[in-house]
Amino acid sequence: MPIFDYECKNCGKVYEELLISSSTPDSEIECPECGQHQSVRRISAPSIGGSGSSFSGGGGCGSSGFS
């Protein structure tokens, strides 16, 4: 079941809410701090590691000296 972060616009409380149904409107979410229904869902963005991973691999092959 999805857990969403909510922020209350009334008191500023940030809390996690476990939604039984994903179709539950934000207006149904009750703030545990003040009891108001003014919470908005926060988009929790996971750390995106960019698109350019920098490999610093030098070619170390071919340095074996056979004689």
Contact residues toward Zn ion (CB under 5 A) are: 8, 10-11, 13, 31, 33-34
13 or 41, CB closer to Zn ion? 13
CB of residue 21 to Zn ion, shortest distance in Å: 22
24 or 40, CB closer to Zn ion? 40
15 or 19, CB closer to Zn ion? 15
Listed residue (2, 32, 1) closest to 15, CA to CA:
32
CB of residue 34 to Zn ion, shortest distance in Å: 3
CB atoms within 10 A of CB 3: 9
CB 31 within 8 A of CB 38: yes
State in Å, rounded, how far the first CA of the chain is from the last one: 66
